[in-house]
Structure 1
Amino acid sequence: MITIISLLLLGSLLPNLSFTASVKVRIVNGFEARPHSRPYMVSVQKNRRHVCGGFLISDQFVLTAAHCRDNTEILTVVAGVHDLSSSSENHVRIGVSTYNKPPEYNPDPKKPKISDLMILKLNKKVKLNNKIKTIPIPMTPVQIRVDTDCSVAGWGFVTNSGPPSPTLREANVKIIKNTDCAGGSCDGDSGGPLVCDNTAVGITAFVSFKSCNDPNLPSPHGVNI
């Protein structure tokens, strides 16, 4: 299910954040992204292990999924990385100072995942360069038309049984009707953006746990931003 929410929500969480824009987990049936072709992508990690994707919306704020963290976990963000297994990439690891979730988000697995998004404020501003950039998000609620070509990306599982991909993978997707939405990404890709026309318009937030590649289920589930 795709739920349209207003960026006024983000503004209420972070009144000092300004937006400049125009209009889990694994990528299944996708392909490896060209290294650093999505410089806004970050790996959200716990104990230096990838748990979710995320994306830079400014030089100090990352947008990801709320379910990627419980109320006690300490997360870090790795930017400027393509291959998580490589020690030669000049990636940047930054701590998180605050975790901001919408007040209506309910982590209860038996409850519908409403507003499953989270804003991470980094300990310091990341230096932007050709491998680390931000991606715009809509300044007002948007309704993406059915059959619009978009894309998703992440370091999640590439099959139902794993393992996760060490390199960033991406897949092209088409927007479907809300009434048809029922499933399709995999563990590890949560928190990554749904990108349409070079703008992040949604977040990979929840998937079918029975099958990440079910032909009867769309991919991915998400929450529009």
Structure 2
Amino acid sequence: MIVSVLLLVTLLPYLTLQASVDVGIVNGREARPHSRPYMVSIQRNNTHICGGFLVSEQFVMTAAHCFTQGEKLTVVVGAHDHNRGTRMDVKFYHIHPGYESLLNDIMLLQLHIKVKKSKKVNWISIPKKDKDIKAKTQCSVAGWGKTTTNGAASAKLLEVDVKIIDKKACQKDWEKTNISTSSMVCAGGRGGGFCQGDSGGPLVCNKVAVGVVSFNQQNNCDSPTVPNVYTKISKFLPWIKCIFGGVKQNLD
């Protein structure tokens, strides 16, 4: 089921704790240019709408809610300023078949051509097996989104450190919304996290992308009372391997 971001936002006010799925980096810092060569800007009509990250020479991982059926997205790789970089067309949109509202919020964009590895462009590793990330593990998130709830987005890539939050504690914090966090990972920091425009970016722990920016508390990027939530990549390894395998088979 493919649901647009606008529809999701319309449905969410029925939750006791509202969540926002069109989620800049809050209380962060400018990343060293090209220190995260896997980062990509996902754009519609040459305008940044979401983050994403290279996981191979031909695939970008992002959030499923970044796509609206019938629209065309492009990917900008090798950018520090999202207005400058190499623009690439998307060949196929692989949306998780179980995607619905906040669940299974993951998508693979298959590029028309393979990227060439360089100092500015490279892919990042993802988990090799499904396992939990220990609570209090130091991680980071990056993006080009808003820097405050009602602020402006950043043209240059920003980053911030966050810590993994125990999944039981996260489930309890979000339980009033009936959101299950079993296929999600939660993280937070001292007023730091993501905001509008960061959706689809990676949660990186020990140089491995373990999560995809999914949703946070609506209209409260600055001081949320519940943790930021990411899609847990390791839960989707069978699906990811199936997509990769299918493409390889077609090329052979």
| TM-score (norm. length: structure 2) | 0.73
| Matching residue of 1:211 | 220
Q: Identity across aligned pairs (percent)?
A: 51
State the distance in 2 between where 1:116 and 1:60 align.
Answer: 20
Distance 1:169 1:185 in 2: 10
CA–CA separation in structure 2 for the residues paired with 1:58 and 1:157: 28
Secondary structure, counterpart of 1:175 in structure 2:
strand
Cα gap change, 1:161 to 1:70, in 2 (>3 Å): same
2:94 to 73, 94, 100: 100
Identify, as 1 or 2, the structure richer in helix: 2
Distance 2:223 2:38 in 1: 29
Task: Give the unaligned 5+ runs of structure 2.
Answer: 1-21, 175-187, 234-252
Aligned-residue offset at 1:199: 0.2
Question: Secondary structure at the residue paired with 2:99?
Answer: coil
Which amino acid is the alignment partner of residue 207 of structure 2?
A: N
| Counterparts of 1:142 and 1:49, CA distance in 2 | 36
Q: Secondary structure at the residue paired with 1:52?
A: strand
2:23–2:215 Cα contact (<8 Å) kept: no
Give the structure 1 partner of residue 205 of structure 2. Answer: 196
Q: 1:123 aligns with which of 112, 116, 141?
A: 112
Deviation of 1:217 after TM superposition, in Å, equals 2.7
Runs of 4+ with deviation above 6 angstroms: none
Equivalent position SS for 1:67: helix
Return 5+ residue gaps in structure 1 as ranges. 1-23, 108-112
CA distance in structure 1 between the partners assigned to 2:100 and 2:76 by the alignment: 27
Bigger relative contact order, structure 1 or 2, given CA contacts below 8 A and separation 6+? 1
Q: Distance in 1 between matches of 2:167 and 2:71?
A: 33
Equivalent position SS for 2:168: helix
Equivalent residue, structure 1, for 2:5: none
Q: Residues 25 and 164 of structure 1 are in contact (CA less than 8 Å); yes or no, is this contact kept in structure 2? A: no
Superposition pairs of residues 138-149 of structure 1, within 5 angstroms: 138-149=127-138
CA contact (8 A) 2:76 2:82 kept: no
> Does the 8 A contact of 1:53 with 1:192 survive in 2?
yes
Residues 141, 194 of structure 2: 8 Å contact kept: no
Task: Report the equivalent of 1:20.
Answer: none
In the alignment, does 2:43 pair up with 1:34? no
The answer to whether the 8 A contact 2:42-2:48 is kept is: yes
Report the count of equivalent residues.
192
Partner letter of residue 48 of structure 2?
A: H
TM-score (norm 1): 0.82
**SS of residue matched to 2:216:** coil
Distance 1:215 1:104 in 2: 28
Deviation (angstroms), 1:128? 1.1
* 1:114 Cα offset (Å): 1.1
